[in-house]
Amino acid sequence: MDIATFYPGHKTLKAHIDYYYFLKADSPDFQTTYYAFPNIAVPLSIHRSATCEITDACTQVQALKQGQSIALVQRTFQQPLLVKLQGPIDKVTICFKPSGFSYFIPQPFSIIAPDDSQLFTAWEGIPGYQAFLDRFFGTDDNHERVEHLESWLLAQYRHDPAYEMMGQAIAWLSDFDNPCTIDEVAERLALTIRSFNRLFLKHMNISPVAWKKIARFRHSLKNKLFNAQFRKLTEIGYGSNFYDQSYFIKVYNKLTGSNPGAFFKSVEKLADDHLIFRFVKE
């Protein structure tokens, strides 16, 4: 299994996309199973030729030598997601920033992604989509693929003041050096708390309370794995505003299926350390 990571080159895309990664496995006997964990990023994966089976807690993709391309998108789910990949996988995953995906889809995110994981079909009716897929998968050069991908994404880009408002709200909610409550965010945006909740659900398909919990979890994860100053679990919790240690453990149990200590020992880092997975040995 080969994973190659690239970063947006165009300034417009840099504002809304964290990175792309390409995953390729040539063997028809290839298979891997892993758990992905709740994240504030929004991943969109496009497979060259595959079928899929999706249940509440598991997404299984079977790659084919000949077949139709499929795309899958995950919203900000709130429990571990089991992923199974089989066959000669050839896919790209676009990792959008928390509110970035909205700029590239024709409908609100809550309509596009009502479930934790689903097929993404919103681009299929757009002229030129199939031609883009043909060009993209018609080359094995990842740099050329990035060029085709960015041309397509820029063609889909659309601006809306509501997206800017969501981006500002997310910046405040994820600022753990200067924390503010959800009520304070709504007040800064000159919205009632009810209107803010409705706006957040429309464009993020998750409540602000649940989203902030996941943002805090990802922040603590980053501190543990990449910040040398945080060594003890209590320091990790306090550094991400988990002021109650029992609540810190409770959140990890819910979002990862294990306590913090066991979780950190079990995960692996991939794609320039962006991906945090727990692989399942079968």
- CA atoms of 272 and 282, how far apart (whole Å): 26
CB atoms under 10 Å from CB of 136, counted, come to 20
**CB-facing half-sphere around the CA of 263: CA atoms within 13 A:** 26
- CA atoms of 21 and 141, how far apart (whole Å): 13
pLDDT at 24 over 80: yes
Q: Sign of the C-alpha dihedral, residues 256, 258, 259, 260?
A: negative
Q: Are 202 and 108 in contact (CB under 8 A)?
A: yes
Average pLDDT of span 255-262:
88
Locus of tokens 């990035």? 146
Instruction: State the pLDDT at residue 224.
Output: 66
Locus of tokens 């992905």? 36
Instruction: State the pLDDT at residue 231.
Output: 61
| Element housing 50 (H / E) | strand 50-54
Non-local CB neighbours of 238 within 8 Å, separated by 6+ positions: none
Average pLDDT of span 193-205:
96
Average pLDDT of span 131-149:
97
Average pLDDT of span 173-199:
95
Instruction: State the pLDDT at residue 120.
Output: 98
Query: Which CATH class for the 161-264 domain?
Result: mainly alpha
Query: Percent of the chain beyond pLDDT 90?
Result: 72
Give residue 270's pLDDT band: very low, low, confident or very high (50, 70, 90). confident
Structure tokens given for 33: 């199973």
- CA atoms of 51 and 100, how far apart (whole Å): 27
* pLDDT tens-digit map of 83-99: 999 999 999 999 999 99
Structure tokens given for 54: 């999706």
pLDDT at 38 over 80: yes
- CA atoms of 176 and 213, how far apart (whole Å): 12
Average pLDDT of span 195-214:
95
Provide the whole-model pTM. 0.92
- CA atoms of 264 and 25, how far apart (whole Å): 27
